[in-house]
């Protein structure tokens, strides 16, 4: 009994010491945060990220990173936590906040946490905390067995569009890659979101040299990522990594020219001003100002967009319905809204018709999705897919399929077989493989 008692004393003492050590570790934290959520302090900040216990983690798929990155629950959502240097963490946090204010698709910064230390008082790296973008996936999670060339092409086009938007705002990325981007489905295409702004710089305007350098970084990085997929047997054999990576150059330059190039035409062809605006609107951009100059001999004029802003269809749909969705989703839903108004020969205002469409089309589709399937895709993507499914079924059966019937057919034949993109949880085998891969990546 005495021996048991003697053993018990040091155990209790060790526990007390550990507890006070954890309290001291929490007290040492310095937090710069864009949230007042005190649950941030519930995480084991006294441990290196690679040592965090499973109960503190969310098993979501991660992209490649030269830093240790982990996902953790925070309230009803999830945050991504990255260990990095203090200067880098603060720079990226401030840069993401600036990009958010400019309306750039990027992850939301939550906090920078410095002064981390273990219970023994030794220092730990600071961390940057960002909010996980719901329904988004790293490019490596977008394949089932192999990544098809068509999917890869859409990813690169989305990356090119994001890069153009950033360059128009004067943002030099400095580390463009698919790994530093998250993708969300956008009416059959993809919308790209910036994840890593560690090397980013914001300027009043970028030079052609800065833009070209960013583009060259993208080309090289994407080629390397494709080669990595080929080595892992995750890419179709017919895909040429180098040729595929060249697509971002072509896609970027065509879009940049359409948005910024000067155009000359005869005075009698002034209709081309509106034609240029419509083309830019079709690409999802609004034009707030044009620079129009007459030539010296007065026979023609030169036209150049002055201020170009992305999200044309998003803003129109938001104004009409209050729905905040991706650009291509907005375009698709607006097309259905316009068709709905025409079908009902409505003489009501566009705003009134839009709210009627939300009540009789959008909301019934969303509400008809079984609760257990609601996390498969975000609501706007589900509505888009239902409308597409209805069109194909109606064409196949040569009749106008009622909306309720189309929804049920879509749920049974399509949605039930889709994976859950709100939170793709890894199974135990995948978690083990991911942990091994993370360990190898973290060491790099």
Q: Answer yes or no: do 245 and 349 share one domain.
A: no
User: Which contacts of 365-368 are long-range, i.e. CB under 8 A and separated by 24 or more positions?
Assistant: 365/403, 365/407, 368/404, 368/407, 368/408, 368/411
The rounded distance, in Å, linking the Cα atoms of 302 and 305 is 10
In a domain, 204, yes or no: yes
| Domain boundary residue, one of 84, 107, 133 | 133
Q: Which of 277-291, 297-311, 350-364, 418-432 has the highest mean pLDDT?
A: 350-364
Res 252: pLDDT? 95
* 223-248 pLDDT per residue, tens: 999 898 888 888 877 888 899 899 99
Cβ atoms < 10 Å from Cβ of 70: 21
φ, ψ at 191 (rounded to 5°): -110, 135
Residues 318-342 have a mean pLDDT of: 89
Kindly list the distances between the CA atom of residue 191 and the CA atoms of 118, 182, 186, 313, in Å, as whole numbers in the listed order: 40, 8, 6, 14
Q: Structural domain of residue 336, as residue ranges?
A: 313-417
Contact 191, 105 (CB under 8 A): yes
The rounded distance, in Å, linking the Cα atoms of 77 and 133 is 9
Comparing 262 with 394, the larger pLDDT belongs to: 394
Q: Is the pLDDT of residue 422 over 90?
A: no
- Beta partners for 184? 191
Up-side HSE of residue 305: CA atoms within 13 Å toward CB? 23
Q: Residue 131 in 3-state DSSP?
A: strand
- With tokens 């018709």, the residue in question is 353
Q: Answer yes or no: do 277 and 246 share one domain.
A: no
Q: Answer yes or no: do 161 and 187 share one domain.
A: yes
Q: Answer yes or no: do 364 and 398 share one domain.
A: yes
Which domain CATH number covers 28? 3.30.200
Nearest Cα neighbor of 84 from 30, 131, 126 is 126
* 41-62 pLDDT per residue, tens: 889 999 999 999 999 998 777 6
Sheet of 189-194: strands edge to edge? 137-138, 181-186, 189-194
In a domain, 302, yes or no: yes
Comparing 120 with 110, the larger pLDDT belongs to: 110
Q: pTM (2 decimals)?
A: 0.77
The rounded distance, in Å, linking the Cα atoms of 80 and 127 is 10
Q: Residue 302 in 3-state DSSP?
A: strand
* 276-294 pLDDT per residue, tens: 878 888 887 777 666 667 7
Q: Answer yes or no: do 42 and 65 share one domain.
A: yes
Q: Answer yes or no: do 224 and 280 share one domain.
A: no
């Amino acid at each position: 009994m005495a021996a048991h008692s003697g053993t018990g004393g040091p155990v209790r003492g060790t526990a007390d010491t550990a507890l006070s050590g954890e309290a001291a570790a929490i007290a040492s934290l310095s937090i710069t945060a864009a949230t007042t959520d005190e649950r941030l302090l519930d995480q084991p900040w006294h441990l290196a990220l690679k040592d965090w216990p499973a109960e503190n983690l969310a098993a979501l798929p991660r992209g490649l990173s030269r830093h240790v990155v982990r996902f953790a629950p925070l309230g009803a959502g999830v945050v991504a936590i990255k260990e990095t240097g203090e200067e880098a963490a603060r720079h990226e946090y401030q840069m993401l906040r600036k990009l958010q204010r400019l309306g750039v698709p990027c992850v939301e910064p939550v906090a920078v946490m410095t002064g981390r230390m273990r219970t023994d008082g030794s220092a730990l790296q600071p961390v940057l905390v960002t909010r996980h973008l719901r329904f988004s996936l790293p490019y490596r999670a977008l394949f089932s067995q192999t990544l098809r060339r068509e999917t890869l092409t859409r990813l690169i086009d989305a990356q090119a569009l994001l890069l153009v938007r950033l360059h128009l705002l004067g943002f030099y990325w400095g580390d463009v890659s698919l790994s530093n981007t998250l993708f969300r489905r956008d009416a059959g295409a993809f919308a790209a979101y910036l994840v890593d702004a560690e090397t980013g710089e914001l300027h009043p305007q970028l030079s052609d040299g800065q833009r070209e350098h960013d583009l060259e970084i993208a080309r090289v990085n994407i080629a390397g990522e494709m080669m990595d997929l080929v080595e892992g047997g995750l890419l179709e054999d017919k895909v040429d990594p180098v040729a595929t990576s060249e697509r971002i150059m072509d896609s970027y330059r065509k879009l940049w020219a359409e948005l910024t190039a000067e155009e000359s035409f005869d005075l009698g062809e002034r209709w081309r001003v509106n034609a240029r605006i419509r083309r830019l609107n079709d690409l999802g951009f609004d034009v707030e100002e044009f620079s129009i100059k007459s030539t010296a001999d007065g026979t023609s004029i030169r036209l150049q967009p002055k201020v170009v802003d992305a999200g044309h269809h998003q803003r129109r749909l938001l104004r009409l319905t209050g729905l905040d969705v991706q650009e291509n989703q907005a375009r698709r839903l607006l097309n259905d809204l316009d068709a709905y108004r025409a079908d009902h020969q409505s003489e009501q205002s566009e705003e009134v018709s839009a709210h009627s469409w939300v009540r009789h089309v959008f909301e019934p589709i969303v509400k008809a999705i079984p609760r257990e399937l609601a996390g498969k895709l975000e609501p706007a993507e589900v509505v888009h897919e239902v409308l597409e499914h209805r069109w194909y079924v109606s064409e196949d059966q040569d009749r106008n399929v009622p909306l309720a019937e189309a929804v049920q057919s879509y749920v049974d034949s399509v949605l039930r077989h889709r994976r859950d993109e709100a939170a793709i949880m890894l199974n135990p085998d995948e978690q083990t493989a991911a942990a091994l891969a993370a360990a190898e990546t973290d060491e790099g």
